[in-house]
Structure 1
Amino acid sequence: MANDLVLDTAIRDWVLVPLSLVMVLIGVLRHFVSKALQSSPTPDPKAFKESQVVIRARYLRGAANYIPLKAFRMRRTYYNNEENGLLHVPKGQAQNMQAQMFSDPNMAMDMMKKNLSMIVPQTLTFAWVNFFFSGFVTAKIPFPLTQRFRAMLQNGIDLSSVDVSYVSSRSWYFLNLFGLRGLFSLILGEENATDDTQRLMQTQMAMQMGGLGADPAKALGAEKDGLDLIQHDWVLPKIEQKAEVVLRQFLDH
């Protein structure tokens, strides 16, 4: 019966503990290798300038009603002029993400290094576990589980009579692979290179710094259309009236 299984202490000493230690050591090694291969991305001056222009245009839209109409029209012309406006992008200059990536081989090489430092250790470790430790029952979960957890906890064991709470060696590898994030945060810090989710976020940030996050023509065009649609309504002449109303309400109370 499944409840009568007794795990040998040799499995704990020669399978469970070595596998866990190797996973931790490989994670630490991945961290230092990733740090050694990491190169600080060089932002594109053109993309940085375009992002600053978009931010300034957003500030203008937000504060449009606090400047006179003439000043607002002058600034809007400065941004939206069809000849030399800052937000006007000719159709031939629009670049997509793939074109900019191929024009910057250093960024593509850096992304490939990060992916290799993640894929190669995982592939070699899984091959090692599958060759030396396949078929072992290494541990037992101390609480009952439903049958839906069988495929996750008993990978490599084709015995339906074994209780679901028993964990195979291959499943223990996957549990360590996805469950050591908290331990690595304690050992290596929050910003460690073993966190794959953080790695994806850093890649996206690097792509955005290099101009790969979005089409710059779309961002500039959206801000240009937003400035064109603003209906200017100068609020400063009405401030005295609003102040009087507020003051009267305050004195009444």
Structure 2
Amino acid sequence: MAEDLVLDTAIRDWVLIPLSVVMVLIGVLRYFVSKLMRSSPVPDAKVVREGQIVLRARNLRSAANFIPHKSFRSRRVYYGNEENGLLYVPKGQAQNAQAQMFSDPNMAMDMMKKNLSMIIPQTLTFAWVNFFFSGFVAAKIPFPLTQRFRSMLQNGIDLSTVDVSYVSSRSWYFLNLFGLRGLFSLILGEENAMDDTQRMMQMSGFGMDPTKGLSAEKDNLDIVQHEWVLPKFEHRAEAVLRKIVS
């Protein structure tokens, strides 16, 4: 049977609150440091051109039914034909973003700065938490939880008899690490409140083929079923006029 613990108020004052305050201050400090280290990238003309082509093709798809079938068909050929279509990407010409990173030293340096601004503070903070606060039961969740949450909430406590709703100090560190986006959005603004989970997702997605957007938009444009809506408007207008006259 799970045991109920009585948490000392000193743990709240000297473990729980300092951990939370330090995590917030480190997040704010890391934002300003990364802002100072950030360099203004020079836009790639090829990437800008591809983005504009995708945007124009997307507008064509959304407004396809407002132009005649002949006009839509000529525009679709202009974008998707396999000779000189704007959306057609020949095989072997797709550029790998990872290869572009190694060929561009500025991009590699920016990636290194982002990694350092994320990894170094996390490593130092985790070492600080692990050295000073390891083994403390810092808080209790005010509602019951299942056993699946034990590994997430009681990291560093090897007691299976403790109720799952109790949170260890090390787990509290991880909860603050990945759950402070709402607070950072209030302090730094919504655009600057990117948490570590999103940064890791961006890092894991790095190396994707930037030309896949062209191929995907070409496929979407090929499957569009065109139906000109102007004749329907004419029939509706005639019906309305007949009702008015009658």
Residue matched to 1:98: 98
Measure the CA separation in 1 of the matches of 2:240 and 2:38. 58
> Residue in 2 aligned with 1:113?
113
User: How has the CA–CA distance of structure 1 residues 146 and 112 changed in structure 2, closer, same or farther, with 3 Å as cutoff?
Assistant: same
CA offsets 1:36-95 (integer angstroms, 9 cap, x no match): 2223333221222233234334545644773584x6676566556766554555545332
- In the other structure, the counterpart of 1:247 is 241
TM-score by length of structure 1 reads: 0.72
Indicate the residue corresponding to 2:192 in structure 1.
192
Q: Match for 2:174: what amino acid?
A: F
Counterpart of 2:150?
Answer: 150
Secondary structure at 1:93's aligned position in 2? coil
* CA offset digits 1:89-117 (Å, max 9, x no partner): 55453323333333333233323322321
CA shift for structure 1 position 201:
7.7
Per-residue CA deviations over 1:155-213 (Å, capped at 9, x if unaligned) read 211122333333221122122222322222222222225523554687799x79xx954
Following the alignment from structure 2 to structure 1, what is the Cα–Cα distance between the partners of residues 177 and 8?
24
Measure, in 1, the Cα distance between the counterparts of 2:167 and 2:225.
Answer: 66
The code of the aligned residue for 1:218 comes to S
Once the two structures are overlaid, the 10-residue window that deviates more, 239-248 or 184-193, is: 239-248
- Conserved? CA contact 1:94–1:216, under 8 Å: no
Q: Which has the larger radius of gyration?
A: 1
Deviates more, 1:136-145 or 1:29-38: 136-145
Distance, in Å, in 1 between the alignment partners of 2:109 and 2:76 is 41
Please say if residues 89 and 215 of structure 2, whose CA atoms lie closer than 8 Å, have aligned partners that are also in contact. Answer: no
- Picking from 198, 208, 212, the partner of 1:215 is 212
Describe the SS at the equivalent of 1:48: helix
- Say if 2:10 is the partner of 1:2: no
In 1: Cα distance, 2:17 partner to 2:210 partner: 43
2:161 paired with 1:139: no
Compared CA separation, residues 109 and 230, structure 1 to 2 (3 A): same
% identical aligned pairs: 73
SS in 2 for 1:2: coil
Match of 1:176 in 2: 176
Q: CA deviation at 1:26?
A: 1.0
**Shift in alpha-carbon separation, 1:92–1:135, aligned structure 2, 3 A:** closer
Contact 1:89 1:221 in 2 (8 A): no
Unpaired segments ≥5 residues, structure 2? none
How many residue pairs align between the two structures?
244
Q: CA 1:164–1:236 in structure 2 vs 1: closer, same or farther (change >3 Å)?
A: closer
- Kept in 2, the 8 Å contact 1:134–1:169? The answer is yes
1:34 aligns with 2:34: yes
Q: 1:45 to 1:141 in 2, by over 3 A?
A: same
Deviation at 1:121, TM superposition (A): 1.3
SS at match of 1:21: helix
The residue identity in structure 1 corresponding to 2:18 is: P
Match of 1:161 in 2: 161
Tell me if the contact between 1:141 and 1:167 (Cα under 8 Å) persists in the aligned partners. yes
What is the CA–CA distance in structure 2 between the aligned matches of 1:8 and 1:77, rounded to whole Å?
73
Give the match's secondary structure for 2:139: strand
Deviation of residue 216 (structure 1)? 5.8
**Alpha carbons 2:138, 2:167 under 8 Å: kept:** yes
Q: 1:242 to 1:39 in 2, by over 3 A?
A: same
